[in-house]
């Protein structure tokens, strides 16, 4: 059933292209306070979409992106025409972010949310040495690598894909656990996990092999323990054009060069 969006708020990244698009669209459709608007139209690239989603998580706000950046996998195609009609016909995609809980070498605890992925990476020239536990069961006693990441379906075409991880359909109840330049076990290439699991990663030899952890754009330095699980009570909402669905985007990505 088509929705009716009476008020629209436009948000744009700082690039000239996005700012010009915002000015054009505001002249055509007006501008509402984002806190009061029925829908937020984000103009930029995937990074700006992530920023907008972080700002609107758990508010119930719907976000419709139009690509005025580079990759724009999370975005719809840009056009100034028939925006209200496009919004009315758009498909809502609801998903839950990952929650990252860390403990650093000083015993400090930190919490952050990730829409794309949580990843750990070596802080120095020494490879990271990690122990991976899934739902309380040790799965990798020792993983030596440059890093490892746990990706959501929404983030599976980002860093996960660059690390040769699998692309996941947005509706798939899965997470991708993907190593970055694994040295040992040399033949381990990652795993697909149910989205309800809890992943604990312990940093072995943290003084000799320091590791940082990142949830989207939030970085925590010198961690010794990281717990990752899908949030139980936080949601984000993206609108996508029905003729440019997530399945279409995934297929296009998998068959591209």
Question: Which residues are catalytic, by number?
Answer: 46
Q: Is residue 158 marked as binding?
A: yes
Contact yes or no for 159/149 (Cβ under 8 A): yes
Contact yes or no for 64/42 (Cβ under 8 A): yes
Q: What angle do CA 172, 174, 176 make, to 5 degrees?
A: 125
Q: Is residue 159 marked as binding?
A: yes
Q: Is residue 119 marked as binding?
A: no
Q: Is residue 116 marked as binding?
A: yes
Q: Is residue 47 marked as binding?
A: yes
Q: Is residue 117 marked as binding?
A: yes
Name the E strands within 29-75. 39-44, 62-67
Q: Is residue 162 marked as binding?
A: yes
Q: Is residue 90 marked as binding?
A: no
Question: Which residue bears the tokens 């040992």?
Answer: 184
Question: Which residue bears the tokens 């608007």?
Answer: 37
DSSP per-residue codes, 224-236: EEEEEEE-SS--E
Which residues carry a binding-site annotation for NAD(+)?
Answer: 46-47, 116-117, 146, 154, 157-162
Which residues carry a binding-site annotation?
Answer: 46-47, 116-117, 146, 154, 157-162
């Amino acid at each position: 059933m088509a929705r009716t969006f009476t008020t629209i708020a436009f948000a744009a990244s700082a690039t000239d292209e996005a700012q010009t698009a915002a000015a054009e669209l505001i002249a055509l459709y007006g501008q509402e306070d984002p806190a009061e608007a029925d829908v937020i139209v984000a103009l930029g690239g995937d990074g700006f979409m992530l920023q907008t989603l972080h700002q609107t998580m758990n508010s119930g706000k719907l976000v419709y992106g139009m690509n005025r950046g580079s990759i724009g996998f999370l975005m719809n195609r840009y056009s100034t025409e028939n925006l209200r009609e496009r919004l009315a016909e758009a498909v809502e995609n609801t998903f839950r972010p990952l929650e990252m809980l860390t403990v650093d070498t000083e015993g400090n605890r930190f919490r952050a949310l990730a829409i794309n992925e949580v990843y750990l990476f070596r802080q120095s020239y020494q490879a990271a040495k990690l122990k991976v536990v899934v739902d309380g069961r040790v799965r990798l006693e020792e993983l030596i690598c440059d890093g490892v990441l746990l990706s959501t379906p929404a983030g599976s075409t980002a860093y996960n894909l660059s690390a040769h991880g699998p692309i996941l359909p947005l509706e798939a109840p899965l997470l991708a656990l993907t190593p970055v330049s694994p040295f040992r076990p040399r033949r381990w290439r990652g795993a697909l996990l149910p989205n309800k699991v809890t992943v604990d990663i312990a940093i072995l030899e943290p003084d000799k092999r320091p590791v940082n952890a990142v949830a989207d754009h939030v970085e925590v330095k010198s961690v010794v323990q990281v717990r990752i699980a899908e949030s139980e009570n936080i949601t984000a909402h993206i609108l996508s054009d029905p003729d440019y669905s997530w399945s279409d985007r995934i297929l296009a990505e998998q068959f591209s060069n």
